[in-house]
Structure 1
C-alpha cells in the first residue's frame, strides 16, 4: 500500500503494526531516496534476527510506548502486571505489542490518507479495558506526513502511542547518522537510573553533552554519553496538546531537512545504540550502530508510576488524541552547528 503527494512517497507493509516501510523524499538535486528503515517484504519483519533484536522499524508501538518500571503499575487501587521484556522492565507493548498485531486498514483517497484501526481486548498484555485505537497517516500538500492518533476505552487504562521510525536523511549514502545536525526544542530531560527508568527529576540540559537547544552534529558528543549513545526523553518546551516544534534534523550532504511538530509533551531521541549489524533491510542496507536515529514523540516513560508527570490515563468517555507531523524540505550550503 502506498500514498503519494507532491514530493513524498509513503509505503506501508500490509496491516501488521501499521508499519511505515519506506518514505521517499528528494535531496537538493531532486534525487529521490528512502529516508527510513524497513524491509522489502513481510518476511523481513518476521525473521529471527529482527524479532530477536526488536528494533520496531516504522511500527506503531503501544498500548504504552517506552518503559514502565518492573512491568507494574497501580490504577484505582488495583495493581496490574505487564511483561518484563527489557531487563526487569516493560518496553513498547510487551511480548506482543501493537507493532506485532494486524490492524484493519481503510484507504481515504479523498484525503490522501489511510486509517488503521486495532481493538485491544480487555486484559491484553496485562492492561485493563477494551481499547479501540485509530492511527491515520496523511500526506499533505506541504510535503508532510501527518500521523493522527485516537483511542477510546471501556475501562481506565494507560495509553501512550507513538511511531518508531528510524531516519537516515542521507538515504543510505552516509555510513552513519552522526553527521546529521539536530536541534531539539527542549530545555529539560527526564533523568533516569541505570535501567533507563525515570527518577522523577526533570533536569536542565544546559552545559551537558545532551544539549541540542542549538544545532549540533549528533556525533559531536555521542561518545561522551553514558550507555554509548543517546536514548533520552526530552521535555518539550510549550503546552501539552498544542502543536509545537519538537525537532529539526539537517543532513548536509543531501541537503534534506526534517522538522518534527507534535502535540505530545516529550520526544525520545534514540541514536540507534543497539543496532548491531545483524539485520539487512531494503536496498541491501545493513543496520549498524548509529546508522539512523529515532525521534519518538510521546508522553514520558513510566508515567503511570510518576504522579508528577503528565498523565497517560485514559478514562471512560474520554478520547485519546495526539498528532505528530514530519515535514521534509531541502537546504543548500553547510549547517551552522557545533562540531
Structure 2
C-alpha cells in the first residue's frame, strides 16, 4: 500500500492528501488537489516543477502538475454548440476558455479510489452545468510507476452529450534545476496547428518542414523561435527529450500534444521564472468543439473515453 499523508487544508475545510508512489528508479508524490503530480524523482532527481504548500497551489500555480479539464487547452470565445444548443463557458484567457474555466479540475479535490505501492487512482464527479459544460461527468486518472516509466491512464463517462479533453500539465526539467532552453527535443510530428493572436487554431494542419516547428530532427528548445513555443503538434509517433544526461520518451494514444516551453512563467507570481520547465500536454486539439474537421471530443451517454500517456526515463 502506498503511503498517504495530509498535505494541507483548504479554506472550505476540505483535506488534501499526498500519496507517495515508488517503483524501481522512480518515486512520485501525487496530491488529491487537482490530481497534481507534485514530485517525480528519477534516481533521486526531481524532474517536475512543484510547490511547497496547498496555499501555493491555490494562489501561485500555473497548473503545475495538475490534471486539467473538463477541457484542456482553449475553446474560442468561451462557447460551443453541441446538438444545436449553445453552451457558454467562463472566459478566463482573454475572450477564450482555458483548461476548463475559472474553477476547473485542477482546483478540485479528487477522491482516492484505489492505491498500491506503485499506483493510485483518483476520481472526480463534475455536475451538469459545471463551468457551463453539459452533463454529469465522472472522470478518473490512474498514475502508475513501472520501474523506469510513469503511465497516466484517463477515463471519462457522461450522462448527457458533452465534450471532454483531459491532460496532465506537468512542467518537466530533466536537470532538476536551471532552465530548459538546452533540452533537446525530437518529435514525430510532420504537422502542427498555426494559431491566431489569441492562440486559437486557424483550422489548418500546417507542415512543419522549413519552419521553427520542425522537430523531426533534434533541436534545442532555445535554438529557434526564441523558445516561445505554446503550440499543438499533430503526432505521428512519439517524443524524445534529452537534458541533464537523462532521456524522456513520451508515447500516447492521443492525436496531439501541446508543447509549451514555459516562457510565460514570470518568477514573481510563481516561484519559477521563464523556461524553468516545459510541458508536453498530450491531448485532442484545442477548440475542437468549434472545429468539426478536428478529431471529435464529443462524449455521449453509454460511451467511455479513455487515453493513456507514458513518460519513460532512460
Residue of structure 1 equivalent to 2:282: 297
Tell me how far 1:279 sits from its aligned partner. Answer: 4.8
Residue of structure 2 equivalent to 1:56: 63
TM-score, length of structure 2 as denominator length: 0.92
Residues 1:24 and 2:41 are matched in the alignment: yes
Residues 1:306 and 2:311 are matched in the alignment: no
Residue of structure 2 equivalent to 1:6: 24
Residue of structure 1 equivalent to 2:10: none
Tell me how far 1:290 sits from its aligned partner. Answer: 1.1
The CA distance in 2 between the partners of 1:255 and 1:279, in whole Å, is: 30
Residues 58, 107 of structure 2: 8 Å contact kept:
no
Residue of structure 2 equivalent to 1:98: 105
The CA distance in 1 between the partners of 2:102 and 2:52, in whole Å, is: 24
Residue of structure 2 equivalent to 1:288: 273
The CA distance in 2 between the partners of 1:43 and 1:200, in whole Å, is: 39
- Given the alignment, which residue of 73, 92, 95 partners 1:66? 73
Residues 1:177 and 2:180 are matched in the alignment: yes
Uncovered stretches (5+) of structure 1, i.e. residues with no partner: 27-31, 238-243, 281-285, 330-339
For the aligned residues, what is the CA RMSD? 1.2
Count matched residues. Answer: 296
The CA distance in 1 between the partners of 2:170 and 2:242, in whole Å, is: 17
Residues 1:132 and 2:138 are matched in the alignment: yes
The CA distance in 1 between the partners of 2:258 and 2:295, in whole Å, is: 15
The CA distance in 2 between the partners of 1:66 and 1:316, in whole Å, is: 23
Tell me how far 1:106 sits from its aligned partner. Answer: 2.8
Uncovered stretches (5+) of structure 2, i.e. residues with no partner: 1-18
Which 4+ stretches in 1 moved above 2 angstroms? none
TM-score, length of structure 1 as denominator length: 0.85
Task: Deviation per CA, 1:307-338: give whole Å up to 9, x if none.
Answer: 10000000110000000000011xxxxxxxxx
Residue of structure 2 equivalent to 1:336: none
